Every structure is written in C-alpha cells, then in structure tokens.
C-alpha cells in the first residue's frame, strides 16, 4: 500500500542517510496546518515507517528544512498565541526510531532557506515580519549559533530592502553563493523605490 505523508515544501525537505529516508511534510493549510518529520526504512520494495515526530507548530506554515547528518533544522511561521513568530526547531535524529525536538528559538520573521556554515552557524535567508499581524517586511539574513543544539541563538541579523524587495534566492537555492574562505555571502536582490514626478 501507499503511505500518505503530506506535502513537501522544498527539495531540502527530503534526505537520505544510511538506509533511512527522512522527510518533513505539511498537511492542511493555515489553521488546519500540521507539520511532521518521518523516518522511513526500505524493506524489500517497500518503505516502512521507523519513527516520526508529529505536531511541529500546529496551525503554522512550513517554511524551510535542512538535514545535517543526525540533526535537522525546521522553520515554521504563523500566529502562535496571536503573535506571528518564527520557531526555528533543532531536531535530534541520532535514534531514527525516536526523532525529538532538542531546541526551539522564537523570533520575528522567517527563513525560506537554511545552510550550515563554519561548523557552528546556520545561515537563514528570509524576511522580517510584523509580530502582530504577520505582514511580510524586508528581506533579511540571519546567523544562528547552533553550537549548543539544545539552545539555538540568534547571533546576528541584517535587514535590507523594503517589503516590496524580492530575491530569486527566496525560492531558488542556486541563486545563493557562500564563499567560506572569504566568509562572504552573495545573493541577488531586486528593489523598487518610489520616483518623484
């Protein structure tokens, strides 16, 4: 039979390690949204669920995922208790049968894209947002310190452009370049400014 897990947000929502397939999905939308992480094992010609983690930020949308060995990072965004905040979840996958949330960081805005850099830092590209109503604001780059996996921290954040600004990198990871030797991040940005007539 078939296994129905939900919808994937992006290619990074799917990952393979050892004999396991790991996937983060979302079912439903808005108030009905529900995200989960599944660990599957191939048995013959079938994929068999080995472990799962349900109930990641109910009623929030799934925005980005990144697997790194036996760890995973997941970003959701939505009205948690009336405040629109971005939980960054750190998830321990060292026991495939029992994936578990290790840490959580709640901050304004969200990240569409996540990338590990320099060993202890997680780079997030996304947008700032109004905490009271969720209105999307200007693009921003966040640097998270995840060296303490139980307690992820926002090390730094840079906002640029306006709410109308847009980047191809929001939805295309090939538009992002990070040069580790120079510690330089390059992303394209389209901005619009009103012109006096």
* pLDDT tens sequence across 66-111: 999 999 999 999 887 778 887 999 999 999 999 999 999 999 899 9
pLDDT at position 95, please? Answer: 97
Q: What torsion, rounded to 10 degrees, do the Cα atoms 58, 59, 63, 69 define?
A: 10
Confidence at residue 3, expressed as pLDDT on a 0 to 100 scale: 57
- Per-residue pLDDT at 119: 84
Residue 78 pLDDT = 87
pLDDT at 125: 95
* 114 close to 105: Cβ distance less than 8 angstroms: no
Query: Rounded to whole angstroms, how far apart are CA atoms 171 and 152?
Result: 24
Query: Which residues have CB under 8 Å from 22's CB, separation 6+?
Result: 14, 15, 16, 37, 38, 39, 40, 67, 72, 93
- Read off φ and ψ for residue 63, nearest 5 degrees: -110, -40
Block means of pLDDT (10 residues each) for the chain, length 197 residues? 70 92 91 92 90 92 95 91 85 97 94 92 94 91 96 95 91 93 93 71
Q: Biggest alpha carbon distance in the chain?
A: 69
Structure tokens, 52: 């799962």
Tokens of 121: 């830092």
pLDDT at 14: 94
List the structure tokens of 178: 């990070």
Measured in whole angstroms, the distance separating CA 5 from the mean position of its chain's CA atoms is 18
Q: Are 104 and 115 in contact (CB under 8 A)?
A: no
Q: What is the number of other CB atoms lying within 10 angstroms of the CB of residue 4?
A: 7
């Amino acid at each position: 039979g078939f296994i129905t897990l939900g919808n994937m947000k992006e290619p990074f929502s799917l990952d393979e390690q050892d004999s396991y397939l790991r996937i983060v999905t979302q079912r439903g939308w808005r108030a009905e949204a529900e995200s989960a992480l599944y660990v599957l094992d191939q048995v013959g010609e079938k994929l068999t669920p080995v472990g799962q983690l349900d109930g990641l930020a109910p009623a929030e949308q799934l925005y980005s995922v990144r697997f790194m060995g036996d760890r995973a990072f997941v970003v959701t965004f939505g009205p948690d208790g009336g405040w629109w905040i971005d939980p960054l979840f750190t998830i321990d996958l060292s026991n495939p049968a029992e994936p578990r949330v290790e840490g959580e960081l709640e901050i304004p805005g969200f990240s569409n894209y996540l990338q590990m850099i320099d060993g202890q830092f997680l780079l997030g590209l996304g947008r700032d947002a109004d905490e009271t109503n969720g209105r999307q604001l200007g693009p921003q780059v966040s640097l998270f310190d995840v060296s303490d996996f139980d307690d992820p921290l926002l090390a730094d954040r840079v906002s640029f452009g306006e709410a109308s600004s847009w980047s191809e990198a929001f939805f295309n990871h090939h538009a992002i370049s990070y040069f580790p030797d120079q510690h330089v991040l390059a992303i394209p940005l389209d901005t619009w400014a009103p012109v006096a007539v």
